[in-house]
C-alpha cells in the first residue's frame, strides 16, 4: 500500500546534532513536487454543467503551500472544484493549504486528472509536467475510480468546506514518523525523550487542526492506532461519522469502463439508518448492438430486510425503464438484468434523474398489500449520454442473429476497486 513519510523536521538541541533531514521514498506514478493546474474537459466532466476544475496532484513538498496559494489567488472563479490525487507529503504544508482552502470555502473531491497530450508519457515525465505548468487551461479527462488522497493529503482535503469522496476513490490515513539525524553519541534516553515530546506535540497539533476543520476527534484517535508503515482506508461509515463526507447517497458519475466488453457504470452507496452502514449499488449499461442494450443492476443483499422486494427504474413518473421482478442471487449480491431498446436508452438520457422504486412482494411474487412500499430515491444521469454515445461507436450493427447466451454480461459483484496498490517499503 502507498505509505508516506509525514516529517516533523526538527533541530535536536543535544551535543553533536547538526540538522534534521528527510529520508527519500519512491512514489511510483506521482510527481515528486505538487503540481497545480487548471483543467478543462468535455461537457459535464466534473458534474452537471461543470467542465473546468483545478487539479492538484503529486507529492506535497516543502514549498507547496505558497504555490497553491499563489495559483488559487490568480483563478478568477473561486467556485471551481478542486480534485486531489496525492500520496501525501509534508504535514505542515498540508495544514497550511487546508487552512487556505477553508478561508476560500473550497469544494474538494478525490479524483485523477489525465492529460491526453501526455499519452505517450507517464503523466509525470518532464514533457507532461511542462504541459501542465503552462499558462491557461489544459485539455484533460477526469476519473474517480482508483483515485487516492492518502496520508498528508487527507489533511489537505479536510480544509475544504464541501468534501466529496466518491464510492470508487480512496481517502486513507496513518500515523506520522519523526525523522531526524543525530550526530555524535548523545545518551539514548535523551534521544528517546526528545522523540516522545515531539510526537506528543505532533498529536496536539493534529487535534487542534482537526477541531478547527470541524472533524470528529475520533479521527485523530484512529490515526494514532495506524502504524506509519500501514494505511487505513476510511470506510463510508467512518467518512460519515467523522464528518468528512456526510452525503446520504454518495455516488459516481456514469463513466465508461474499458473492459473486454466495455460498459457504462454508476455506483451509489445508500445510507442506512444512522449512517453506521451503507449499501453498495451499481448500474451497468452494455451495448449489444445499435438497437439494443442491456441494463444490469447489482446491489448488496440486505440480510436484515423482512420478506422479498423488487426494484423498478423509472424515467419520470410514468415511464418504466427496466426490472420490476425478482432478482437473481449471487452470493451476497442480488442482480437484475434486462434488455433495453435504443428508445428506452434515449428516454433515460433525456431526463436529469432516474427514479428507483422498490416494492414488497409476497411469496407468490406479487405485490404484498400488507407491507408498505420501500422508500424510493433518485440517481442522476450525468455522463450517461456521453457514455452511451461512446459505446455506440464500437457497438455492432443490429442483426437477426442469436441473442447473447447469458443475460449476465459481466461478473455480478460491484466493480469497486479503490484500495491503494502496494508500494515498496520505505
Non-local (6+) Cβ contacts of 366 within 8 A are none
Asked if the model's pLDDT at residue 267 lies above 80, the reply is: yes
CA distances from 100 to 60, 78, 289 (A): 15, 12, 51
Asked if the model's pLDDT at residue 425 lies above 70, the reply is: no
Please state the rounded mean pLDDT for residues 7-30: 37
Range of weakest confidence among 16-20, 44-48, 371-375: 16-20
CATH architecture of 255-393: Sandwich (2.60)
Please state the rounded mean pLDDT for residues 201-221: 93
Query: What's the whole-number average pLDDT of the chain?
Result: 84
**How many whole angstroms separate alpha carbon 370 and alpha carbon 270?**
25
Q: Return phi, psi of residue 242, to 5°.
A: -80, -10
Residue 109 pairs with which residues in a beta bridge?
83, 164
* Distance in Å from the first CA to the final CA of the chain: 11
Tell me the pairing of strands 52-57 and 35-40: antiparallel
SS3 127: helix
Tell me the pairing of strands 107-110 and 162-164: parallel
- Asked if 345 and 386 count as a contact pair (C-beta separation under 8 A), the reply is no
CA distances from 374 to 143, 309, 364 (A): 33, 8, 18
**How many whole angstroms separate alpha carbon 66 and alpha carbon 152?**
16
> How many Cβ atoms are within 10 Å of 11's Cβ, its own excluded?
10
Residues 43-90: pLDDT tens digits? 999 999 999 999 999 999 999 999 999 999 999 898 999 999 999 999
SS3 388: helix
- Asked if 398 and 292 count as a contact pair (C-beta separation under 8 A), the reply is yes
35-241 CATH fold = 2-enoyl-CoA Hydratase; Chain A, domain 1 (3.90.226)
Please state the rounded mean pLDDT for residues 362-387: 73
- Radius of gyration of the chain from Cα atoms? 25
CA distances from 87 to 153, 156, 231, 267, 361 (A): 7, 12, 11, 24, 48
Asked if the model's pLDDT at residue 9 lies above 50, the reply is: no
Q: Which of 57, 82, 236 is nearest to 159 (CA)?
A: 82
pTM: 0.85
pLDDT score for 363: 59
Q: Which of 289, 269, 265, 293 is nearest to 281 (CA)?
A: 269
**How many whole angstroms separate alpha carbon 84 and alpha carbon 396?**
38
More confident residue, 23 or 329: 329
Asked if the model's pLDDT at residue 374 lies above 80, the reply is: no
Confidence tier at 375 by pLDDT (50, 70, 90): low
Q: Which of 261, 221, 263, 267 is nearest to 241 (CA)?
A: 221
- Asked if 298 and 285 count as a contact pair (C-beta separation under 8 A), the reply is no
Confidence tier at 14 by pLDDT (50, 70, 90): very low
pLDDT score for 321: 87
**How many whole angstroms separate alpha carbon 269 and alpha carbon 279?**
5
pLDDT score for 397: 84
**How many whole angstroms separate alpha carbon 45 and alpha carbon 318?**
29
SS3 73: helix
Grid coordinates representing 322? 427496466
Torsion of CA 165, 170, 176, 177, to 10 degrees: -160
Residues 125-167: pLDDT tens digits? 999 999 999 989 999 999 999 999 999 999 999 999 999 999 9
Residues 222-260: pLDDT tens digits? 999 999 889 999 999 999 999 999 999 999 999 999 888
pLDDT score for 370: 47
**How many whole angstroms separate alpha carbon 422 and alpha carbon 420?**
7
String of DSSP letters for 134-163: SSSEEE-EEE-TT-EEETHHHHHHHTSSEE
| Relative orientation angle of helices 91-104 and 188-212, to the nearest 10 degrees | 10
SS3 366: coil
What are the extents of the domains in the chain? 35-241, 255-393
Non-local (6+) Cβ contacts of 120 within 8 A are none
More confident residue, 200 or 150: 150
Asked if the model's pLDDT at residue 11 lies above 50, the reply is: no
**How many whole angstroms separate alpha carbon 208 and alpha carbon 211?**
5
Amino acid at each position: 500500500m502507498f505509505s508516506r513519510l509525514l516529517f516533523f523536521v526538527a533541530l535536536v538541541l543535544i551535543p553533536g546534532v547538526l540538522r534534521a533531514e528527510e529520508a527519500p521514498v519512491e512514489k511510483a506514478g506521482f510527481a515528486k513536487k505538487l503540481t497545480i493546474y487548471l483543467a478543462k474537459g468535455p461537457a459535464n466532466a466534473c458534474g452537471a454543467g461543470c467542465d473546468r476544475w483545478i487539479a492538484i496532484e503529486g507529492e506535497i513538498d516543502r514549498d507547496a503551500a505558497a504555490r497553491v496559494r499563489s495559483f488559487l489567488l490568480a483563478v478568477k472563479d473561486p467556485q471551481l472544484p478542486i480534485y486531489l490525487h496525492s500520496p501525501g507529503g509534508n504535514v505542515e504544508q498540508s495544514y497550511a493549504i487546508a487552512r487556505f482552502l477553508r478561508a476560500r470555502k473550497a469544494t474538494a473531491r478525490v479524483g485523477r486528472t489525465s492529460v491526453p497530450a501526455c499519452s505517450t508519457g507517464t503523466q509525470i515525465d518532464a514533457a507532461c509536467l511542462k504541459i501542465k505548468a503552462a499558462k491557461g487551461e489544459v485539455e484533460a479527462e477526469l476519473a474517480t475510480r482508483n483515485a487516492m488522497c492518502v496520508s498528508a493529503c487527507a489533511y489537505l482535503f479536510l480544509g475544504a468546506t464541501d468534501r466529496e469522496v466518491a464510492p470508487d476513490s480512496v481517502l486513507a490515513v496513518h500515523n506520522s514518523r519523526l525523522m531526524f539525524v543525530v550526530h555524535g553519541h548523545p545518551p539514548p534516553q535523551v534521544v528517546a525523550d526528545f522523540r516522545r515530546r515531539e510526537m506528543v506535540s505532533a498529536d496536539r497539533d493534529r487535534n487542534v487542526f482537526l477541531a478547527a476543520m470541524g472533524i470528529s476527534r475520533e479521527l485523530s484517535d484512529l490515526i494514532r492506532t495506524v502504524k506509519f508503515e500501514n494505511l487505513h482506508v476510511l470506510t463510508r461509515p467512518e467518512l460519515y461519522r467523522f464528518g468528512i463526507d456526510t452525503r446520504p447517497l454518495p455516488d459516481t458519475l456514469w463513466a465508461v469502463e474499458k473492459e473486454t466488453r466495455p460498459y457504462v457504470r454508476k455506483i451509489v452507496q445508500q445510507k442506512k439508518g444512522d449512517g453506521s452502514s451503507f449499501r453498495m449499488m451499481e448500474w451497468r449499461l452494455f451495448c449489444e448492438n445499435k438497437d439494443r442494450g442491456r441494463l444490469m443492476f447489482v446491489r448488496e443483499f440486505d440480510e436484515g430486510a423482512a420478506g422479498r422486494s423488487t426494484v423498478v427504474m423509472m424515467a419520470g413518473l410514468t415511464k418504466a425503464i427496466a426490472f420490476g421482478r425478482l432478482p437473481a442471487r449471487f452470493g451476497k449480491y442480488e442482480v437484475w438484468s434486462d434488455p433495453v431498446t435504443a428508445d428506452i436508452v434515449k428516454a433515460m438520457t433525456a431526463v436529469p434523474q432516474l427514479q428507483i422504486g422498490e416494492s414488497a412482494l409476497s411469496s407468490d411474487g406479487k405485490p404484498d398489500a400488507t407491507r408498505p412500499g420501500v422508500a424510493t430515491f433518485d440517481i442522476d444521469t450525468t455522463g450517461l449520454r456521453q457514455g452511451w454515445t461512446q459505446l455506440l461507436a464500437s457497438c455492432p450493427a443490429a442483426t437477426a442473429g442469436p441473442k447473447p447466451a447469458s443475460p449476465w454480461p459481466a461478473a455480478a459483484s460491484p466493480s469497486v476497486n479503490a484500495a491503494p496498490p502496494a508500494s515498496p517499503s520505505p
